[in-house]
Structure 1
Amino acid sequence: MPIHPEKPDPPLTEHTDPAPESAGAVDVDPAPPEDDTGELQELQDRWRRALADLDNQRKRHVRELEREQKAERSRTAAAFLPVLDNLELALTHAGADPGAIVEGVQAVRDQAVNVLELLGYPRHAETGVAFDPARHEVIGVVQDPDATPGTVVDVLRPGYGDGERQLRPAAVTVAKRE
């Protein structure tokens, strides 16, 4: 390839590539200008800080959630302490009148049912209501001429709660459909 004296080679600087254009080389800027480097470092620093803030927030949320769960467990347990106290009181009177003991245990049961209701889990032990698969679990089906078919005849185990806040469904027997 002849060298043309009319066209001198451009001077070599930081920003020029000495490779000829015919070799397929592309001008590449080996180092960004000074103000671009500062801006890039600032963006990287902000990005790292945002990641650190996000990680700190996640850890803080986990700690707060654990703290709230412990507090809720404590409130629930504290709500049942009077029930436990009354059961222990009933046991200390075990040698007394059996009728009084039965009345005492029934009062403690009522107190426990009240605590569950205050916690948002009302008791369901109704008979004569229509069978609802969301609230009832069928344990048996009976032929009862006095009952409307498909209604609850007997509650073997009461249910607690409603809808999505259900602890357990009521175990029931249902009148047979004819």
Structure 2
Amino acid sequence: MPIHPNQPDPAGPDHTDPASEDAAGPLPGASPPAVPPAGRGPATDEQPDLGGAGGGPAPSEDEYTAELKELEDRWRRALADLDNLRKRHVRELERERTAERSRTAAAFLPVLDNLELALTHAGADAGPVVEGVRAVRDQAVNVLELLGYPRHAENGVAFDPARHEVIGVVQDPDASPGTVVDVLRPGYGDGERQLRPAAVTVAKRE
């Protein structure tokens, strides 16, 4: 039903229409709402990153490429150093093994020499004890050969200063001059892996 102009508003004298308030603008004395600047989002406590953590310009693609190349070069040098270290370790280990094997075999030579001496004194005796000593001698010689030190006790071969040590020179018409007449002490090994040369007598040269 229509409201008479003289009748009071049913909503009460304090009732205001929100639409009318928005149209009329903010109340006198009220602060206007904060409006963010154009082109920016809502205001936050975090500051935008303007070019890296240090605030400087971002590295260029060329700088990234140079740094990657430097890291790759350092990686390759490290691999090369590691490979050289491995090879040097292998060489040193093999050298130590060879030296230790040579020392052990050289320490065993006096035992073998005593077996040789016992067989020399036995002469042509074919008793079981002599045969046992000869078997032990042959076994010891075989062990040294397996270690890389073959036995050299050949007569009638040409004298070789690398394998023979001259103990004496004899006149032997049945032997060619400069050849080995008799082996007084067998030699073991060859070249750089020689335990000792053979002690021999050599036919006199004319």
**Distance in 1 separating the partners of 2:132 and 2:149:** 23
Which of 60, 74, 80 is the equivalent residue of 1:48?
A: 74
So what's the TM-score if we normalise by structure 2?
A: 0.49
Which of 43, 67, 85 is the equivalent residue of 1:59?
A: 85
The code of the aligned residue for 1:44 comes to E
| SS of residue paired to 1:134 | coil
Shift of 1:126: 1.1
Map 1:1-178 to 2 at 5 A: 34-65=60-91, 103-163=131-191, 165-178=193-206
| SS of residue paired to 1:153 | strand
Shift of 1:51: 1.6
The code of the aligned residue for 2:200 comes to V
Identical aligned residues as a percent: 67
Write the deviation string for residues 101-156 of structure 1: whole angstroms up to 9, x where unpaired. 65444332221101112233221101122222332222221122332221111112
| SS of residue paired to 1:127 | coil
**Distance in 1 separating the partners of 2:97 and 2:190:** 24
Computing the radius of gyration from Cα coordinates, the structure with the larger value is: 2
The code of the aligned residue for 1:53 comes to L
**Distance in 2 separating the partners of 1:172 and 1:151:** 10
Cα 1:148–1:116 shift into 2, 3 Å: same
Find the counterpart in structure 1 of residue 30 from structure 2: none
Shift of 1:42: 1.0
Write the deviation string for residues 15-62 of structure 1: whole angstroms up to 9, x where unpaired. xxxxxxxxxxxxxxxxxx822211111111011111221222233334
| SS of residue paired to 1:37 | helix
Shift of 1:163: 4.6
> 104-113 or 121-130, which moves further after superposition?
104-113
Find the counterpart in structure 2 of residue 12 from structure 1: none
So what's the TM-score if we normalise by structure 1?
A: 0.55
Structure 2: 5+ residue stretches without partners: 1-58, 105-110, 112-126
| SS of residue paired to 1:126 | coil
| SS of residue paired to 1:131 | coil
The code of the aligned residue for 2:71 comes to D
The code of the aligned residue for 1:43 comes to K
